[in-house]
Chains A and B, each alone.
Chain A
Amino acid sequence: QVQLVESGGGVVQPGRSLRLSCAASGFTFINYAMHWVRQAPGKGLEWVGLISYDGRNEYYADSVKGRFTISRDNSKNTLSLQMNSLRAEDTAVYYCVREAILTGYYNYWGQGTLVTVSS
């Protein structure tokens, strides 16, 4: 069965960096675009960004562009989110999400990992 397992969350000071990972299994990873979606405590869902199936294309929300970088290793079935210059408003649960092929919607989500930016 499809599994997406995030890791790497924790408490980090403002201005510092953190790297999240997502281990994918149960499907052919290289066939799918992958996304990160976040949710601040008590708030709604916010799209963070995506990487194409082959890693050649990346798109980011305006709120993280220039600070966050998404990458993938198709040989290891892993997705990563490098977060630099973190701010208090980046505090959220971060979800690794699989987009159904060429559809624009998400059919599988990880359980999420909490990132807290605080001094």
Chain B
Amino acid sequence: SYVLTQPPSVSVAPGQTARITCGGNNIGSKSVHWYQQKPGQAPVLVVYDDSDWPSGIPERFSGSNSGNTATLTISRVEAGDEADYYCQVWDASSDHYVFGTGTKVTVL
């Protein structure tokens, strides 16, 4: 089955840039989506199709995808960005939907 690997944690100071990676075999050939989840809440879509924003999501959130790594970048990090982040793809070979292992972003 297809596996997506994320770093367990990323720490960043306010105003700086956080980068969260999502590794998978030839992930660049798939569409990658990213979710933010705060404690006790359901996940929220923050980036879809590698680099597009849903309405209401600030442009500080951006994405890229190439080769074996997709990346979510959070610019000008704010305290309210502290959350868990998950990447997600649809694996056509198995018709399964796959989530990454998740990354906890801590704002110092």
> A-side interface residues toward B, CB under 8 Å?
35, 37, 44-47, 50, 59, 61-62, 95, 100, 103-107, 109-112
Interface size class of B (residues with CB under 8 A): 20 to 34
Closest to A44 in B: B102
B42, B84, B99: the one within 8 Å of A109 (CB): B42
Secondary structure call for the B interface: strand
Taking a contact as CB atoms under 8 Å apart, the answer to whether B1 and A62 are in contact is yes
> Given A109-B43, A110-B42, A103–B48 Cβ distance below 8 Å?
yes
Bound complex: CA A44 to CA B97 (Å)? 14
Closest chain-A Cβ to B65's Cβ sits at a distance in Å of 13
Closest to A112 in B: B42
Closest to A43 in B: B102
Taking a contact as CB atoms under 8 Å apart, the answer to whether B42 and A95 are in contact is yes
Bound complex: CA A104 to CA B101 (Å)? 18
4 nearest A-B residue pairs (beta carbon): A104-B90, A109-B42, A105-B33, A44-B102
